[in-house]
A and B are shown apart, each in its own frame.
Chain A
Amino acid sequence: MNWISNYVRPRINSLFSRRETPENLWTKCPECGTMLFHREFEESLHVCTDCEHHMPISPRERFHTLFDGGIFAEIDVPTPVADPLEFKDQKKYPDRMKAAQKNTGEAEAMLVGEGEIGRTPIIAIAQDFRFMGGSMGMYVGNAIIAAATRAVELKRPLVLFSAAGGARMQEGILSLMQMPRTTVAVQMLKEAGLPYIVVLTHPTTGGVTASYAMLGDVQIAEPNALICFAGPRVIQQTIGEKLPEGFQRAEYLLDHGMLDRVTHRKDMKDELVTIVRMLMNTTPRVLGDLPAPSQTPDNTPQVTAQK
């Protein structure tokens, strides 16, 4: 009877690295032009080794570097009604979906995983900006509800990495309805006394910032990430206001009291472990790149083990 009660089935699918071998061996930093060799680029977590510019990283790659030993179990997200409004602009919505799926190799714009970070069990969820701008539609809402439900079930904290242009236009009002929907998911965590940590990555804008991405117990951002409701272009076009240097960037928000911290990607994991362990009132952190949590012969992680 309850819509959310029985669909969350974790699926272990990341035992083996799915890291795509880069087609180009070199990546050029869009900020300073430095050429980064693919190994160096991966090791630096897609951060320019010269100017520290944080380049996009896919949810799967992020999870690979976040979870101990790169191991996590993917949580299934219920598939919503496809193309609920039969939306057509210059292209049909299902065609845009297919193109995005082909480009990213992902089903949708959100990935949910469970695993351990620094031997701390968590649920993590990350938004994929490559997939139609990470836009928030029914699926993204379902993913957040699935993640929160699983977190409550296992009594684990939820760490969310946001990246989105905003609502998914092609789902119209139903994308807007994800604002209250995902807020209910955050309330489930709150009422279960579980930490909800938001990591805002570049860019996080529109309805996403006006709902789950701004409701964390602790709000962290990656350096220089654009975080806003109305973007700088919209403000300039409609109001014509002059905008100061660094406006709506992570450091600017920190300065205006809208964030707790701005943290370099290389320090993010350790920081999350530290914060989560204190909020969960457990023993001090164990830092470093730990191996996979369990050493059972078939190498299956004990993803459902509770402490």
Chain B
Amino acid sequence: MSSYLEFEKPLAEIEAKAAELRAMARASEDDVDIEKEAGALDQKAAGMLAELYSTLTPWRKCQVARHPERPHCQDYINALFTEYTPLAGDRNFADDHAVMGGLARLGGVPVVVLGQEKGNDTKSRIARNFGMARPEGYRKAIRLMDLADRFGLPLITLVDTPGAYPGKGAEERGQSEAIARSTEKCLTIKSPVISVIIGEGGSGGAVAFATANKVMMLEHSIYSVITPEGCASILWKDAEKMREAAEAMRLTAQNLHELGVIDHIIAEPTGGAQRDRDATIAAVGVALDDELKKLMKQAKGDKLMKARRKKFLEIGAKGLAA
């Protein structure tokens, strides 16, 4: 962990102090008392971390969901899947690097895995367009979804995108149509479809990948119709009102579970996925394995496709009001 979020500043100070004391202890010979003091600080920090993360406001969740050190699509694929064989291109215009995917095995089962990748340094972030797909990204996804359907392979999607890309070329090449077709394709696949929102589930770009039999979210991920900043600038006429917007929009995993929009929340380590990437990835692996086994038992004919359609028709029957 090297980068703290703004609201973690008090925590950062305590942890820095503890580190400083330990450095001092190493320099001097007399380290017993110092270690005791540092240990007390550690305890204080741990308490503060647990407290901070058990009471995250929606806006803080947005910050955690966007944390650059959170595990990304590539990390999950590397750790959880074997024989990953990337497949590229939309056979039409380009290969969109914001979207990655291909054939792989999950627990030995051949699947198609697909997701948005944000990149992890300046160079890869630019190459990945910060996880914002262009039309060719959705069309590549459609092609892979079709492959899954035709060969009866389960489809697993890992969603992490700020949303669609607001650019001239993306519009000219019909990104709205591409998103619509991708959602449509999700609804015609006969094999199991499982989605995990691992960070940001941003608007149409997310839904085009997440129209699944089972939609899971990591504990501090978000899923929304627009970014809080975008919502604030439209409804409050002030992008700085993103805290209020995040609150009003009900974009946390907990809210969405309550609304029946998602099926399952995967717990994150204390302090968020960025503090223990391996544990987070392992937890996602367990959840995927579990859901895949359950769905594969039900996969007969077009049963899962029908169940998926029924599920989405019925979403929204209940509001938050008791």
Contact = CB atoms under 8 A, between A and B. Distances in A.
Interface stretch (B74-82, B179-187, B279-287): B179-187
A169 B184 contact: no
A305 interface: no
A201 interface: no
Given A89-B236, A230-B166, A173 B225 contact: yes
A47 B242 CA distance: 40
Contacts of A84: 259, 316, 318-321
A238 B171 CA distance: 14
Contact of B250 (A167, A173, A207, A209): A173
Contacts of A228: 171, 176
Contacts of B313: 3-4, 145, 181, 184
A70 interface: no
A213 B176 CA distance: 9
B83 to A, nearest CB: 31
A26 interface: no
Given A89-B248, A172-B225, A173-B225, A184 B309 contact: yes
A20 B314 CA distance: 37
Nearest to B166: A230
A141 B314 CA distance: 11
A82 B320 CA distance: 10
Interface in A46-91: 80-90
A212 B312 CA distance: 14
Interface in A89-109: 89-90
Interface in A156-209: 167, 169-181, 183-184, 186-187, 206-207, 209
Contacts of B236: 89-90
Contacts, number: 183
B56 to A, nearest CB: 18
Interface range for A: 35 or more
A234 B166 contact: yes
Interface string B202-225: 011001100100000000000111
Contact of A180 (B207, B244, B319): B207
B183 A179 contact: yes
B179 A258 contact: no
A141 B312 CA distance: 11
Given A89-B235, A210-B176, A239-B166, A173 B261 contact: yes
B249 interface: yes
A227 B211 CA distance: 24
Interface of B: 164-168, 170-177, 179-181, 183-184, 186-188, 203-204, 207-208, 211, 223-226, 231, 234-236, 244-245, 248-251, 255-256, 259, 261, 309, 312-321
8 contacts: A85-B249, A85-B320, A88-B248, A138-B316, A172-B224, A174-B316, A176-B224, A181-B312
9 closest Cβ pairs, A-B complex: A84-B319, A230-B166, A209-B176, A210-B179, A229-B176, A89-B235, A176-B225, A81-B319, A210-B204
Given A88-B248, A173-B224, A207-B203, 20 more contacts: A3-B314, A81-B318, A167-B226, A172-B225, A173-B256, A174-B261, A179-B179, A179-B180, A180-B186, A180-B187, A183-B312, A209-B180, A210-B183, A210-B208, A211-B204, A214-B176, A229-B171, A229-B179, A235-B168, A258-B177
